[in-house]
Amino acid sequence: MEIRNILQEMNTSLASRENAAKILIGRPRLIQDAVSLLNENETKLSIKALYCLEILARKDIDLLMDQLKHLTHYAKTSENSSANRCLAKIFSLATEKDSLAGKTSYLPSEIKESIMETSFSWLIREESIAVKVFSMQTLWDLRCENDWIAAELKAVLQNDFPGASAGYQSRARKILRKLNHEFSDKI
């Protein structure tokens, strides 16, 4: 079954997205084809591909490891909020796995750098709350990669906190507590 057929049959319900993702499991060529669709100008299929890839990442982020470079490249130019939400969740799952890996890094440094740049970009520009929340978590997970990440993340969150939505404030509060705890431990 071709990826276009799978995605055309898929709707936005969770059950439908999960069924499409199940078809892709164990079929790296279909996963690659889904990622390749992102470079085409078919927005509806691209969004459906990302919906499916996000579910795949939730099941096992390792299934997308070979495609992260392409996903980070696509994220740099994506202006679609739905696409960015899916990408932000995928990046959050990847960086969470990397941070849990400890000294053995899960992600290559160029992927981490690209995810970090994109996450900061999403955090400071006009984006949906979900994209910003996933970006906060991603940057928290990447804070040890460069000394300045934690300080910049803290500054952005403190600056945006007063006028932000309740969802933004809730996640920002949790991350700010962790950041403040880390900063006080270093003193």
The predicted pLDDT at position 39 comes to 84
Domain ranges of the chain: 1-59, 84-187
Query: What burial class does residue 38 get, using C-beta atoms within 10 Å of its C-beta: 0-12 exposed, 13-18 middle, 19+ buried?
Result: buried
Can you read off the two tokens belonging to residue 137?
A: 């978590």
* Amino acid residing at 32: Q
CA dihedral 38, 69, 130, 173 (to 10 degrees): -170
pLDDT of residue 187: 46
- Distance between CA atoms of residues 132 and 130, nearest Å: 5
**Per residue of the chain (187 residues), what is the pLDDT tens digit?**
599 999 999 998 999 999 999 999 989 999 999 999 998 877 789 999 999 999 999 999 999 999 999 999 999 999 999 999 999 999 999 999 998 877 667 899 999 999 999 999 999 999 999 999 999 999 999 998 888 999 999 999 999 988 889 989 999 999 999 998 876 655 4
Q: Return the CATH architecture of domain 1-59.
A: Alpha Horseshoe (1.25)
